[in-house]
Structure 1
Amino acid sequence: MKLYEELADWWPLVSPPSDYAEEAAEYIRLLRSAASGPLQEVLELGSGGGNNASHLKREFSLTLVDPSERMLEVSRALNPECVHVPGDMRTVRLGRVFDAVFVHDAIDYMTTEADLRAALETVATHLRPGGVALIAPDATRETFEPGTTLEGGDEPAGADGRSRSLRYMEWTLPVEPGATIGDVHYGMLLRERDGRVRSVHDMHQFGLFPRAIWLRLFDEVGFDAHVEPRTIEGEEYDTFVAVRRQ
Protein backbone atom coordinates (compact mmCIF):
# COMPACT_ATOMS: atom_id res chain seq x y z
CA MET A 1 0.00 0.00 0.00
CA LYS A 2 1.46 3.31 -1.12
CA LEU A 3 0.33 5.17 2.00
CA TYR A 4 2.60 3.08 4.24
CA GLU A 5 5.56 2.70 1.91
CA GLU A 6 6.42 5.29 -0.74
CA LEU A 7 4.26 7.96 0.98
CA ALA A 8 5.24 7.10 4.55
CA ASP A 9 7.12 10.35 5.14
CA TRP A 10 3.87 12.22 4.42
CA TRP A 11 2.10 10.38 7.24
CA PRO A 12 2.21 13.28 9.76
CA LEU A 13 0.19 15.35 7.27
CA VAL A 14 -2.29 12.52 6.65
CA SER A 15 -2.77 11.85 10.36
CA PRO A 16 -1.17 14.36 12.77
CA PRO A 17 -0.17 12.98 16.21
CA SER A 18 -2.01 15.83 17.94
CA ASP A 19 -5.31 14.43 16.62
CA TYR A 20 -4.89 11.32 18.78
CA ALA A 21 -4.91 12.89 22.25
CA GLU A 22 -8.60 12.28 22.91
CA GLU A 23 -8.67 8.68 21.80
CA ALA A 24 -5.38 7.82 23.53
CA ALA A 25 -6.92 9.06 26.77
CA GLU A 26 -9.86 6.73 26.12
CA TYR A 27 -7.52 3.77 25.56
CA ILE A 28 -5.68 4.52 28.80
CA ARG A 29 -9.02 4.61 30.63
CA LEU A 30 -10.12 1.28 29.17
CA LEU A 31 -6.80 -0.41 29.92
CA ARG A 32 -6.74 0.79 33.51
CA SER A 33 -10.36 -0.18 34.10
CA ALA A 34 -9.66 -3.80 33.07
CA ALA A 35 -6.18 -4.23 34.54
CA SER A 36 -5.29 -6.34 37.53
CA GLY A 37 -1.71 -6.38 38.68
CA PRO A 38 1.00 -4.24 37.10
CA LEU A 39 0.26 -2.18 33.99
CA GLN A 40 3.58 -0.84 32.81
CA GLU A 41 4.96 -2.88 29.90
CA VAL A 42 2.70 -2.49 26.86
CA LEU A 43 3.06 -3.94 23.36
CA GLU A 44 1.38 -2.23 20.41
CA LEU A 45 0.91 -4.31 17.27
CA GLY A 46 0.46 -2.46 13.99
CA SER A 47 1.78 0.73 15.54
CA GLY A 48 2.22 2.56 12.21
CA GLY A 49 3.64 6.05 12.49
CA GLY A 50 3.42 6.00 16.29
CA ASN A 51 0.64 8.53 16.76
CA ASN A 52 -1.12 6.68 19.57
CA ALA A 53 2.24 5.83 21.10
CA SER A 54 3.17 9.51 21.26
CA HIS A 55 0.48 9.86 23.95
CA LEU A 56 0.51 6.37 25.52
CA LYS A 57 4.25 6.56 26.22
CA ARG A 58 3.56 9.11 28.96
CA GLU A 59 1.83 6.35 30.91
CA PHE A 60 3.53 3.12 29.80
CA SER A 61 6.80 1.62 28.60
CA LEU A 62 6.06 0.76 24.96
CA THR A 63 7.30 -1.78 22.45
CA LEU A 64 6.02 -0.97 18.96
CA VAL A 65 5.69 -3.53 16.15
CA ASP A 66 4.79 -2.76 12.52
CA PRO A 67 5.44 -4.54 9.20
CA SER A 68 6.50 -1.35 7.38
CA GLU A 69 10.08 -0.25 8.00
CA ARG A 70 9.20 3.13 6.46
CA MET A 71 6.44 3.68 9.03
CA LEU A 72 8.76 2.56 11.82
CA GLU A 73 11.20 5.27 10.70
CA VAL A 74 8.44 7.87 11.11
CA SER A 75 7.62 6.50 14.55
CA ARG A 76 11.27 6.39 15.66
CA ALA A 77 11.55 10.10 14.92
CA LEU A 78 8.43 10.80 16.96
CA ASN A 79 9.03 8.25 19.74
CA PRO A 80 12.78 7.69 20.11
CA GLU A 81 12.33 6.40 23.66
CA CYS A 82 10.18 3.45 22.52
CA VAL A 83 11.42 0.06 21.33
CA HIS A 84 10.64 -0.50 17.62
CA VAL A 85 10.50 -3.96 16.03
CA PRO A 86 9.55 -4.90 12.45
CA GLY A 87 6.95 -7.63 12.30
CA ASP A 88 3.55 -8.83 11.10
CA MET A 89 0.91 -9.10 13.82
CA ARG A 90 -0.11 -12.54 12.52
CA THR A 91 3.31 -14.11 12.94
CA VAL A 92 5.67 -11.99 15.05
CA ARG A 93 7.05 -13.61 18.20
CA LEU A 94 9.18 -11.52 20.56
CA GLY A 95 9.91 -14.22 23.14
CA ARG A 96 8.53 -12.27 26.08
CA VAL A 97 5.23 -11.25 27.67
CA PHE A 98 3.72 -7.87 28.52
CA ASP A 99 1.17 -6.48 30.96
CA ALA A 100 -1.05 -5.32 28.08
CA VAL A 101 -1.28 -5.53 24.31
CA PHE A 102 -2.93 -2.78 22.28
CA VAL A 103 -4.02 -3.01 18.65
CA HIS A 104 -5.63 -0.01 17.00
CA ASP A 105 -7.16 0.11 13.50
CA ALA A 106 -4.33 -1.92 11.94
CA ILE A 107 -6.43 -4.92 12.97
CA ASP A 108 -8.77 -3.88 10.13
CA TYR A 109 -6.26 -5.29 7.64
CA MET A 110 -7.09 -8.81 8.83
CA THR A 111 -9.42 -9.64 5.96
CA THR A 112 -10.13 -13.30 6.73
CA GLU A 113 -11.23 -15.08 9.88
CA ALA A 114 -7.97 -17.05 9.79
CA ASP A 115 -5.94 -13.83 9.71
CA LEU A 116 -7.93 -12.35 12.58
CA ARG A 117 -7.49 -15.50 14.66
CA ALA A 118 -3.75 -15.50 13.97
CA ALA A 119 -3.48 -11.88 15.12
CA LEU A 120 -5.39 -12.64 18.32
CA GLU A 121 -3.13 -15.66 18.94
CA THR A 122 -0.16 -13.29 18.70
CA VAL A 123 -1.81 -11.01 21.25
CA ALA A 124 -2.39 -13.95 23.61
CA THR A 125 1.17 -15.25 23.18
CA HIS A 126 2.58 -11.91 24.33
CA LEU A 127 0.39 -11.43 27.41
CA ARG A 128 1.04 -12.59 30.94
CA PRO A 129 -1.84 -14.48 32.58
CA GLY A 130 -4.30 -11.83 33.72
CA GLY A 131 -2.90 -9.32 31.24
CA VAL A 132 -5.21 -7.05 29.25
CA ALA A 133 -5.74 -6.87 25.49
CA LEU A 134 -7.38 -3.81 24.00
CA ILE A 135 -8.41 -4.10 20.33
CA ALA A 136 -9.93 -1.04 18.67
CA PRO A 137 -11.13 -1.67 15.10
CA ASP A 138 -12.66 1.10 13.04
CA ALA A 139 -15.85 -0.92 12.73
CA THR A 140 -17.59 -4.19 13.36
CA ARG A 141 -20.34 -5.47 11.08
CA GLU A 142 -22.89 -3.93 13.46
CA THR A 143 -21.35 -0.43 13.44
CA PHE A 144 -20.05 -0.16 9.86
CA GLU A 145 -21.18 2.75 7.73
CA PRO A 146 -19.85 3.65 4.27
CA GLY A 147 -19.00 7.25 3.58
CA THR A 148 -16.56 9.90 2.47
CA THR A 149 -14.26 12.19 4.45
CA LEU A 150 -12.01 15.06 3.39
CA GLU A 151 -8.88 15.76 5.42
CA GLY A 152 -5.25 16.83 5.20
CA GLY A 153 -2.60 19.09 6.66
CA ASP A 154 0.32 21.45 6.13
CA GLU A 155 3.91 21.32 7.29
CA PRO A 156 5.33 24.26 9.23
CA ALA A 157 7.16 26.55 6.83
CA GLY A 158 10.93 26.18 6.65
CA ALA A 159 13.52 28.95 6.74
CA ASP A 160 12.79 29.66 3.09
CA GLY A 161 9.07 30.02 3.79
CA ARG A 162 8.21 26.85 1.89
CA SER A 163 6.33 23.82 3.15
CA ARG A 164 4.60 20.68 1.95
CA SER A 165 0.82 20.23 2.04
CA LEU A 166 -1.50 17.28 1.55
CA ARG A 167 -5.24 16.94 1.05
CA TYR A 168 -7.06 13.65 0.66
CA MET A 169 -10.46 12.10 0.18
CA GLU A 170 -11.17 8.80 1.92
CA TRP A 171 -14.03 6.92 0.26
CA THR A 172 -15.29 3.83 2.07
CA LEU A 173 -17.55 1.83 -0.24
CA PRO A 174 -20.67 -0.10 0.80
CA VAL A 175 -20.10 -3.77 1.63
CA GLU A 176 -22.31 -6.54 0.27
CA PRO A 177 -24.46 -8.36 2.85
CA GLY A 178 -22.49 -11.24 4.33
CA ALA A 179 -19.15 -10.08 2.89
CA THR A 180 -16.17 -9.87 5.24
CA ILE A 181 -13.96 -7.72 3.00
CA GLY A 182 -14.54 -4.08 2.04
CA ASP A 183 -12.69 -1.48 -0.03
CA VAL A 184 -11.58 2.02 0.88
CA HIS A 185 -10.07 4.38 -1.71
CA TYR A 186 -7.75 7.31 -1.02
CA GLY A 187 -7.44 10.13 -3.53
CA MET A 188 -4.51 12.32 -2.46
CA LEU A 189 -3.15 15.66 -3.69
CA LEU A 190 0.42 16.31 -2.56
CA ARG A 191 2.03 19.74 -2.90
CA GLU A 192 5.82 19.67 -2.76
CA ARG A 193 7.92 22.50 -1.31
CA ASP A 194 8.63 23.78 -4.81
CA GLY A 195 4.91 24.18 -5.46
CA ARG A 196 4.45 21.17 -7.73
CA VAL A 197 1.23 19.23 -7.06
CA ARG A 198 0.75 15.56 -7.88
CA SER A 199 -2.09 13.14 -7.33
CA VAL A 200 -1.98 9.59 -5.95
CA HIS A 201 -4.68 6.96 -5.78
CA ASP A 202 -4.38 4.19 -3.19
CA MET A 203 -6.84 1.37 -2.49
CA HIS A 204 -6.93 -0.62 0.75
CA GLN A 205 -9.03 -3.62 1.75
CA PHE A 206 -10.36 -4.12 5.26
CA GLY A 207 -11.95 -6.98 7.16
CA LEU A 208 -15.43 -6.64 8.61
CA PHE A 209 -16.72 -9.17 11.13
CA PRO A 210 -19.72 -9.31 13.48
CA ARG A 211 -19.16 -9.05 17.22
CA ALA A 212 -20.06 -12.72 17.65
CA ILE A 213 -17.10 -13.85 15.52
CA TRP A 214 -14.72 -11.54 17.38
CA LEU A 215 -15.87 -12.86 20.75
CA ARG A 216 -15.70 -16.50 19.63
CA LEU A 217 -12.13 -16.06 18.40
CA PHE A 218 -11.09 -14.34 21.62
CA ASP A 219 -12.47 -17.30 23.56
CA GLU A 220 -10.71 -19.83 21.32
CA VAL A 221 -7.27 -18.27 21.93
CA GLY A 222 -7.68 -17.99 25.71
CA PHE A 223 -9.41 -14.72 26.55
CA ASP A 224 -12.42 -13.59 28.52
CA ALA A 225 -13.58 -10.73 26.32
CA HIS A 226 -16.39 -8.23 26.10
CA VAL A 227 -17.35 -5.21 24.02
CA GLU A 228 -16.93 -1.72 25.46
CA PRO A 229 -18.02 1.46 23.69
CA ARG A 230 -15.42 4.16 23.10
CA THR A 231 -16.43 7.68 22.17
CA ILE A 232 -14.18 9.73 19.89
CA GLU A 233 -15.24 13.18 18.72
CA GLY A 234 -18.83 12.40 19.61
CA GLU A 235 -18.96 9.09 17.70
CA GLU A 236 -19.21 5.69 19.37
CA TYR A 237 -17.11 2.69 18.31
CA ASP A 238 -16.87 -0.93 19.43
CA THR A 239 -13.79 -1.77 21.46
CA PHE A 240 -12.83 -5.27 22.58
CA VAL A 241 -11.43 -5.54 26.09
CA ALA A 242 -10.05 -8.98 26.87
CA VAL A 243 -8.26 -10.55 29.84
CA ARG A 244 -5.86 -13.47 29.31
CA ARG A 245 -7.12 -16.44 31.25
CA GLN A 246 -4.90 -17.79 34.01
Structure 2
Amino acid sequence: METLPKLYTELADWWYILSSPEDYAEEAEFYRQAIISACELNPLTLLELGSGGGNNASHLKQHFEMTLVDISPEMLAISRELNPECEHIEGDMRTVRLNRQYDAVFIHDAIDYMQSASDLRSAIATAYSHCKPGGVALFAPDHTLESFQPGTTHGGCDLNNRSLRYLEWTWDREPNENTYISVMVYVMRERDKLVRCVEERHVFGLFSKNDWQRFVTEVGFKPQSIPFKHSSFEGDSRDVFLGLKQRESGKMTSK
Protein backbone atom coordinates (compact mmCIF):
# COMPACT_ATOMS: atom_id res chain seq x y z
CA MET A 1 0.00 0.00 0.00
CA GLU A 2 1.41 3.34 -1.03
CA THR A 3 -0.97 5.16 1.34
CA LEU A 4 -2.48 3.68 4.48
CA PRO A 5 -6.29 3.77 4.74
CA LYS A 6 -7.80 6.59 6.79
CA LEU A 7 -9.09 3.98 9.22
CA TYR A 8 -5.49 3.38 10.36
CA THR A 9 -4.34 7.01 10.29
CA GLU A 10 -6.63 10.00 10.83
CA LEU A 11 -9.53 7.82 12.07
CA ALA A 12 -7.44 5.55 14.29
CA ASP A 13 -8.83 7.03 17.51
CA TRP A 14 -12.27 5.75 16.46
CA TRP A 15 -10.98 2.17 16.17
CA TYR A 16 -12.39 0.78 19.44
CA ILE A 17 -15.85 2.16 18.61
CA LEU A 18 -15.71 0.35 15.28
CA SER A 19 -14.02 -2.79 16.60
CA SER A 20 -14.23 -3.58 20.32
CA PRO A 21 -11.47 -5.67 21.99
CA GLU A 22 -14.14 -7.63 23.89
CA ASP A 23 -15.45 -9.00 20.60
CA TYR A 24 -12.14 -10.80 19.95
CA ALA A 25 -12.09 -13.07 23.01
CA GLU A 26 -13.48 -16.19 21.30
CA GLU A 27 -11.30 -16.06 18.20
CA ALA A 28 -8.18 -15.16 20.19
CA GLU A 29 -8.72 -18.31 22.24
CA PHE A 30 -9.05 -20.34 19.03
CA TYR A 31 -5.72 -18.94 17.79
CA ARG A 32 -4.06 -19.64 21.14
CA GLN A 33 -5.14 -23.26 21.10
CA ALA A 34 -4.11 -23.70 17.45
CA ILE A 35 -0.63 -22.35 18.22
CA ILE A 36 -0.19 -24.57 21.26
CA SER A 37 -1.42 -27.67 19.42
CA ALA A 38 0.91 -27.18 16.45
CA CYS A 39 4.02 -25.95 18.23
CA GLU A 40 6.74 -28.46 19.13
CA LEU A 41 7.95 -26.04 21.83
CA ASN A 42 6.19 -24.79 24.92
CA PRO A 43 5.30 -21.44 23.34
CA LEU A 44 6.05 -18.55 25.68
CA THR A 45 6.94 -15.76 23.25
CA LEU A 46 4.72 -14.54 20.42
CA LEU A 47 5.38 -12.02 17.64
CA GLU A 48 2.29 -10.50 16.05
CA LEU A 49 2.82 -8.88 12.66
CA GLY A 50 0.16 -6.39 11.55
CA SER A 51 -1.11 -6.11 15.12
CA GLY A 52 -3.26 -3.03 14.48
CA GLY A 53 -5.06 -1.70 17.53
CA GLY A 54 -4.07 -4.74 19.57
CA ASN A 55 -7.49 -6.37 19.96
CA ASN A 56 -6.19 -9.94 19.70
CA ALA A 57 -3.17 -9.07 21.82
CA SER A 58 -5.43 -7.83 24.63
CA HIS A 59 -6.41 -11.49 25.13
CA LEU A 60 -3.28 -13.34 24.00
CA LYS A 61 -0.95 -11.31 26.25
CA GLN A 62 -2.34 -13.25 29.21
CA HIS A 63 -0.63 -16.36 27.82
CA PHE A 64 2.43 -15.08 25.92
CA GLU A 65 5.14 -12.48 26.16
CA MET A 66 4.25 -10.45 23.07
CA THR A 67 5.95 -8.17 20.59
CA LEU A 68 3.55 -6.22 18.36
CA VAL A 69 4.59 -4.89 14.95
CA ASP A 70 2.45 -2.67 12.75
CA ILE A 71 3.04 -0.29 9.84
CA SER A 72 0.77 2.42 11.30
CA PRO A 73 2.18 4.58 14.11
CA GLU A 74 -1.35 5.76 14.92
CA MET A 75 -2.57 2.20 15.50
CA LEU A 76 0.50 1.40 17.58
CA ALA A 77 -0.27 4.43 19.74
CA ILE A 78 -3.76 3.24 20.64
CA SER A 79 -2.50 -0.32 21.14
CA ARG A 80 0.10 0.92 23.62
CA GLU A 81 -2.72 2.33 25.73
CA LEU A 82 -4.60 -0.98 25.63
CA ASN A 83 -1.53 -3.22 25.92
CA PRO A 84 1.17 -1.36 27.85
CA GLU A 85 2.76 -4.69 28.83
CA CYS A 86 3.66 -5.48 25.21
CA GLU A 87 6.59 -4.24 23.17
CA HIS A 88 5.47 -2.19 20.16
CA ILE A 89 7.57 -1.70 17.00
CA GLU A 90 6.74 0.14 13.80
CA GLY A 91 7.46 -1.98 10.74
CA ASP A 92 6.17 -3.46 7.49
CA MET A 93 5.41 -7.18 7.70
CA ARG A 94 7.00 -7.69 4.27
CA THR A 95 10.40 -6.33 5.20
CA VAL A 96 10.83 -5.91 8.96
CA ARG A 97 13.69 -7.86 10.56
CA LEU A 98 14.10 -7.72 14.34
CA ASN A 99 17.15 -10.00 14.50
CA ARG A 100 15.50 -12.25 17.07
CA GLN A 101 13.26 -15.31 17.05
CA TYR A 102 10.05 -16.26 18.83
CA ASP A 103 8.31 -19.48 19.77
CA ALA A 104 5.36 -18.45 17.58
CA VAL A 105 4.46 -15.81 15.00
CA PHE A 106 0.90 -14.67 14.32
CA ILE A 107 -0.59 -12.63 11.47
CA HIS A 108 -4.30 -11.95 11.70
CA ASP A 109 -6.42 -10.35 8.94
CA ALA A 110 -3.80 -7.66 8.20
CA ILE A 111 -2.36 -10.35 5.92
CA ASP A 112 -5.30 -9.59 3.60
CA TYR A 113 -3.57 -6.37 2.51
CA MET A 114 -0.95 -8.44 0.70
CA GLN A 115 -2.40 -7.90 -2.78
CA SER A 116 0.22 -9.77 -4.83
CA ALA A 117 1.79 -13.19 -4.58
CA SER A 118 5.21 -11.60 -4.03
CA ASP A 119 3.93 -9.47 -1.13
CA LEU A 120 2.21 -12.44 0.50
CA ARG A 121 5.29 -14.59 0.14
CA SER A 122 7.43 -11.81 1.63
CA ALA A 123 5.17 -11.57 4.69
CA ILE A 124 5.30 -15.34 5.18
CA ALA A 125 9.10 -15.23 4.81
CA THR A 126 9.21 -12.56 7.53
CA ALA A 127 7.31 -14.91 9.81
CA TYR A 128 9.76 -17.71 8.99
CA SER A 129 12.81 -15.58 9.75
CA HIS A 130 11.42 -14.71 13.21
CA CYS A 131 10.27 -18.22 14.14
CA LYS A 132 12.41 -20.55 16.26
CA PRO A 133 13.07 -24.09 15.05
CA GLY A 134 10.25 -26.17 16.50
CA GLY A 135 8.04 -23.08 16.57
CA VAL A 136 4.98 -22.27 14.51
CA ALA A 137 3.49 -19.42 12.49
CA LEU A 138 -0.26 -18.90 12.16
CA PHE A 139 -1.86 -16.94 9.31
CA ALA A 140 -5.56 -16.01 9.48
CA PRO A 141 -6.89 -14.42 6.28
CA ASP A 142 -10.54 -13.45 6.14
CA HIS A 143 -11.08 -15.34 2.89
CA THR A 144 -9.55 -17.80 0.49
CA LEU A 145 -10.49 -17.98 -3.18
CA GLU A 146 -12.68 -21.00 -2.41
CA SER A 147 -14.58 -19.41 0.49
CA PHE A 148 -15.03 -15.84 -0.73
CA GLN A 149 -18.57 -14.55 -1.16
CA PRO A 150 -19.53 -10.93 -1.93
CA GLY A 151 -21.76 -9.35 0.68
CA THR A 152 -22.51 -6.54 3.09
CA THR A 153 -22.09 -6.13 6.83
CA HIS A 154 -22.82 -3.29 9.22
CA GLY A 155 -22.25 -2.41 12.84
CA GLY A 156 -20.84 0.11 15.28
CA CYS A 157 -21.60 1.33 18.78
CA ASP A 158 -21.56 4.26 21.20
CA LEU A 159 -18.62 4.94 23.51
CA ASN A 160 -17.67 7.94 25.67
CA ASN A 161 -20.06 10.39 24.03
CA ARG A 162 -18.99 9.30 20.56
CA SER A 163 -20.96 7.16 18.12
CA LEU A 164 -19.96 5.33 14.96
CA ARG A 165 -21.92 3.25 12.49
CA TYR A 166 -20.43 1.55 9.46
CA LEU A 167 -21.49 -0.21 6.30
CA GLU A 168 -19.09 -2.59 4.55
CA TRP A 169 -19.84 -3.66 0.97
CA THR A 170 -17.55 -6.31 -0.46
CA TRP A 171 -17.23 -7.58 -4.01
CA ASP A 172 -14.63 -9.29 -6.18
CA ARG A 173 -12.77 -7.70 -9.08
CA GLU A 174 -11.99 -9.03 -12.53
CA PRO A 175 -11.92 -12.86 -12.68
CA ASN A 176 -8.19 -13.03 -13.47
CA GLU A 177 -7.12 -10.74 -10.61
CA ASN A 178 -6.30 -12.13 -7.17
CA THR A 179 -7.88 -9.25 -5.25
CA TYR A 180 -11.26 -8.14 -3.97
CA ILE A 181 -12.67 -4.76 -2.95
CA SER A 182 -14.29 -3.71 0.30
CA VAL A 183 -15.87 -0.26 0.43
CA MET A 184 -16.34 1.07 3.96
CA VAL A 185 -18.66 3.94 4.89
CA TYR A 186 -18.18 5.35 8.40
CA VAL A 187 -20.79 7.64 9.95
CA MET A 188 -19.39 9.34 13.06
CA ARG A 189 -21.01 11.62 15.59
CA GLU A 190 -19.67 13.38 18.65
CA ARG A 191 -21.90 15.05 21.24
CA ASP A 192 -23.08 18.49 20.10
CA LYS A 193 -21.30 18.09 16.77
CA LEU A 194 -22.53 17.41 13.27
CA VAL A 195 -22.46 13.93 11.81
CA ARG A 196 -19.41 13.22 9.65
CA CYS A 197 -19.43 10.62 6.88
CA VAL A 198 -16.25 9.10 5.42
CA GLU A 199 -16.03 6.57 2.61
CA GLU A 200 -12.94 4.67 1.56
CA ARG A 201 -11.97 1.64 -0.49
CA HIS A 202 -9.80 -1.23 0.76
CA VAL A 203 -8.23 -3.65 -1.73
CA PHE A 204 -7.38 -7.10 -0.38
CA GLY A 205 -5.52 -10.08 -1.75
CA LEU A 206 -7.42 -13.27 -2.52
CA PHE A 207 -5.51 -16.55 -2.85
CA SER A 208 -6.44 -20.20 -3.09
CA LYS A 209 -5.74 -22.77 -0.39
CA ASN A 210 -3.14 -24.28 -2.68
CA ASP A 211 -1.45 -20.89 -3.05
CA TRP A 212 -1.28 -20.46 0.71
CA GLN A 213 0.17 -23.91 1.30
CA ARG A 214 2.65 -23.46 -1.56
CA PHE A 215 3.98 -20.14 -0.22
CA VAL A 216 4.19 -21.50 3.32
CA THR A 217 6.18 -24.48 2.00
CA GLU A 218 8.46 -22.42 -0.27
CA VAL A 219 9.84 -20.28 2.55
CA GLY A 220 10.73 -23.39 4.57
CA PHE A 221 7.74 -24.21 6.78
CA LYS A 222 5.92 -27.51 6.97
CA PRO A 223 2.36 -26.45 6.06
CA GLN A 224 -0.97 -27.25 7.66
CA SER A 225 -4.47 -25.83 7.33
CA ILE A 226 -7.33 -26.13 9.81
CA PRO A 227 -10.94 -24.91 9.71
CA PHE A 228 -11.64 -21.72 11.63
CA LYS A 229 -14.07 -22.42 14.48
CA HIS A 230 -16.25 -19.61 15.79
CA SER A 231 -19.81 -19.39 17.11
CA SER A 232 -20.70 -16.84 14.40
CA PHE A 233 -19.78 -19.31 11.64
CA GLU A 234 -22.03 -22.06 10.35
CA GLY A 235 -19.93 -24.91 9.01
CA ASP A 236 -16.23 -24.90 8.14
CA SER A 237 -16.18 -22.27 5.41
CA ARG A 238 -12.96 -20.54 6.44
CA ASP A 239 -9.44 -21.84 6.97
CA VAL A 240 -6.39 -20.65 8.84
CA PHE A 241 -2.90 -21.72 7.81
CA LEU A 242 -0.04 -22.92 9.99
CA GLY A 243 3.63 -23.32 9.27
CA LEU A 244 5.83 -25.48 11.48
CA LYS A 245 9.51 -24.58 11.39
CA GLN A 246 11.19 -27.93 11.64
CA ARG A 247 14.04 -28.39 14.08
CA GLU A 248 16.42 -29.45 11.30
CA SER A 249 15.93 -25.99 9.81
CA GLY A 250 19.65 -25.51 9.20
CA LYS A 251 19.08 -27.19 5.84
CA MET A 252 16.35 -24.68 4.94
CA THR A 253 16.68 -21.03 4.12
CA SER A 254 14.09 -18.31 3.66
CA LYS A 255 14.25 -17.28 0.01
What TM-score results when the alignment is normalised by the length of structure 2? 0.92
* Partner of residue 118, structure 1: 122
* Partner of residue 243, structure 2: 242
Q: 5+ unaligned residues in a row in structure 1: which ranges?
A: 157-162
* Partner of residue 170, structure 1: 168
Which among 154, 158, 180 is matched to residue 150 of structure 1? 154
Q: Is the contact made by 2:67 and 2:87 (CA closer than 8 Å) also made in structure 1? A: yes
Alignment partners' CA distance in 2, 1:174 and 1:125: 32
Alignment partners' CA distance in 2, 1:212 and 1:117: 13
- Counterpart of 1:194, as a letter, is D
Deviation at 1:193, TM superposition (A): 2.5
SS in 2 for 1:70: helix
- Counterpart of 2:241, as a letter, is F
* Partner of residue 46, structure 2: 42
Deviation at 1:35, TM superposition (A): 1.3
Asked if 1:56 is matched to 2:57, the reply is: no
Which among 9, 12, 20 is matched to residue 13 of structure 2? 9
Deviation at 1:182, TM superposition (A): 1.1
Alignment partners' CA distance in 1, 2:24 and 2:174: 31
SS in 2 for 1:92: coil
* Partner of residue 253, structure 2: none
* Partner of residue 160, structure 1: none
SS in 2 for 1:222: coil
Deviation at 1:130, TM superposition (A): 1.3
Q: Percent identity?
A: 52
Alignment partners' CA distance in 2, 1:194 and 1:181: 41
- Counterpart of 1:139, as a letter, is H
* Partner of residue 128, structure 1: 132
Which among 219, 239, 245 is matched to residue 221 of structure 1? 219
* Partner of residue 99, structure 2: 95
Deviation at 1:234, TM superposition (A): 3.3
Number of residue pairs the alignment of both structures matches = 240
Deviation at 1:181, TM superposition (A): 1.1
Deviation at 1:3, TM superposition (A): 0.5
* Partner of residue 204, structure 1: 202
- Counterpart of 1:9, as a letter, is D
Q: Is the contact made by 2:36 and 2:42 (CA closer than 8 Å) also made in structure 1? A: no
Deviation at 1:48, TM superposition (A): 0.1
Q: Detail structure 1 runs of 4+ shifted over 4 Å in the superposition.
A: none
Deviation at 1:37, TM superposition (A): 1.7
SS in 1 for 2:127: helix
- Counterpart of 2:96, as a letter, is V
- Counterpart of 2:12, as a letter, is A
* Partner of residue 195, structure 1: 193
Alignment partners' CA distance in 2, 1:93 and 1:17: 28
SS in 2 for 1:173: strand
Deviations along 1:32-75, one digit per CA (max 9) or x if unpaired, are 11111220010000000000000000110000000000000110
Which among 229, 232, 236 is matched to residue 231 of structure 1? 229
Alignment partners' CA distance in 1, 2:141 and 2:34: 14
Alignment partners' CA distance in 2, 1:182 and 1:133: 25
* Partner of residue 137, structure 1: 141
Deviations along 1:101-159, one digit per CA (max 9) or x if unpaired, are 00000000000000001001100000011111010000110111110001101113xxx
Alignment partners' CA distance in 2, 1:105 and 1:72: 16
Alignment partners' CA distance in 2, 1:155 and 1:234: 24
What TM-score results when the alignment is normalised by the length of structure 1? 0.95
* Partner of residue 159, structure 1: none
